[in-house]
Structures are given as C-alpha cells and as structure tokens.
Amino acid sequence: MDERKQHFDSLLAAYVAGTLAEPARLLVRSHLDLSADNREFVRDLESAGGRMLEEIDPLPVADRDAMLAAIMALPADPVDADAPRAPRKTRLPVPLYDYLGKDFNELPWKTRLPGLRECRIGEEDGCVASLLWIRAGMAMPTHTHHGTELTLVLEGGFSDMDGHFVRGDVTYADDDVDHRPVADEGEDCICFVVTEGSLRLTGPVGRFFAPFLRG
C-alpha cells in the first residue's frame, strides 16, 4: 500500500472514530457525498466498530438524556453505498452547501493572485478551512507545509508530483511534500482545503507573492 493510500485510509478511520477536527470531518463528508468509491469502506469500518462495541461490557452513562439529544442532533453522514442519492440542486457537495448556506456564486470570494480567488470559511479545532478557485491552466506557487493540508476537488482538476486529481478526489500533503499544483486546461479548478499549520512558499516567485497570500 502506497503512503498516500495509507494516509487516506487513516483519515477515513479517524472520521469513523469521530476524532477528526470538524473542518476535516466536513471535508470527508463532502468527499463521500461526491464519490461512491469509499462509502462502502466507511460503512464496513462502522460495522466493525459496532461489533467491537457489542463485545465491551456496558458502563453507566452520565447525563444520558443530554448525550442522546446531542447525538440525535448530529447530521446524517452519507455513507450508505446502496442508498438512493437525491437530485443535486447545488454545485457544492450537499454537506458543504448545508454548512455554508450558499452556492459558489453567492460566496464572498477574494482575489489573492491573478487567477486565484479564495473564500475563507473560518478556523475551528486548530484547522483553517477555505475554498480556492483557480483559473484553468494556472500553476500555484511552489510550496510545502508546516503541518498538514487536505484538499478536496469540487470542480475541474489539477496535477502535481503525486498525480492527477478530479472532482471528488482528496489529496494529503505535509512538510515532506514540496509541490506545485497546476490546474487542468479548459476548466477552472475549485477546491475545498483544510490546513493545520501554515503554508510555506518555497519558490522564488512564490516568495515574492507571499505578502499577498497572507491577507
């Protein structure tokens, strides 16, 4: 199993275990909404976790009614591979649309560089969540990370040293990755990005534009 697949499987396992930061959890839910590839795998993980719980001796639960109410208030995760999918009324994945309450063209985009716009969603649990809108054919500045970066492709696609990624794909990067994503020709690339830690520009052009990206 390659390292990228290991990272992704660990991400899905943490999602099922409920240990992900909320922005990363939203990213995984959005991935599962867009792509059927991993819904069955997540369902199997949940089934395995349920079997493990059945083998554990029960313990008394403090404030049971409040805990039950909190669980019932959680949104349902779209992980049933056999469930019928509702017609899509938004370009965004449904979990992300429900979170934002707006579609792409209604969001407050801010130009960061010529050909690059960002909509900063916010920071929670030590993670920053953003949407990036990258002009077709544009190369992002070469960069690495002080921490981790999860990227979900929402529209279009891009390529970097690890391969080619399209709608529904998730990529993982950390301080071992120094890459230069390039958006596909012919269609703008829109991504949902969750970062823990800061981005570090490494190329000479990127360092020149660094002050514009921090704002």
Q: Is 20 helix (H, G, I), strand (E, B) or coil?
A: coil
List where CATH 1.10.10.1320 sits in the chain: 3-82
- For the residues 167-189, what does the mean pLDDT come to? 85
CB within 8 Å of 208: residues ≥ 6 apart: none
- 111 secondary structure, DSSP code: E
In sequence order, the β-bridge partners of residue 158 are 165, 183
Strand, helix or coil for residue 96 = helix
Please report, rounded to a whole number, the percentage of residues in the chain having pLDDT higher than 90: 41
- Residue of 97 and 49 predicted with greater confidence: 97
pLDDT, mean of residues 167-176: 84
* pLDDT tens for each residue of 88-143: 677 899 999 999 999 988 999 999 888 999 999 999 998 999 999 999 999 887 76
List of residues 6+ apart from 42 with CB closer than 8 A: 12, 15, 16, 32, 77, 79
β-partners of residue 201 are 143
Rounded distance, CA 70 to CA 63, Å?
Answer: 11
Residues 107, 188, 113, 145: is their CA dihedral positive or negative? positive
pTM over 0.85: no
Name the helix (H) or strand (E) containing 121: strand 116-124
Phi then psi for 212, rounded to 5 degrees? -75, -25
Check whether domain 99-214 has CATH 3.40.640.10, yes or no: no
Report the C-alpha gap between 152 and 172 in whole angstroms: 9
Outline which parts of the chain fall under CATH 2.60.120.10. 99-214
Dihedral sign (CA 197, 100, 135, 24): positive
Nearest CA among 137, 133, 131, 115 for reference residue 182: 137
Fold of 3-82: Arc Repressor Mutant, subunit A (1.10.10)
Max mean pLDDT among 31-35, 141-145, 178-182 falls in 31-35
Average pLDDT, the chain: 79
For residue 215, give the 3-state DSSP assignment. coil
Tell me if 92 sits within 8 A of 103, measured CB to CB.
yes
Written as one letter, the residue type at 161 is: M
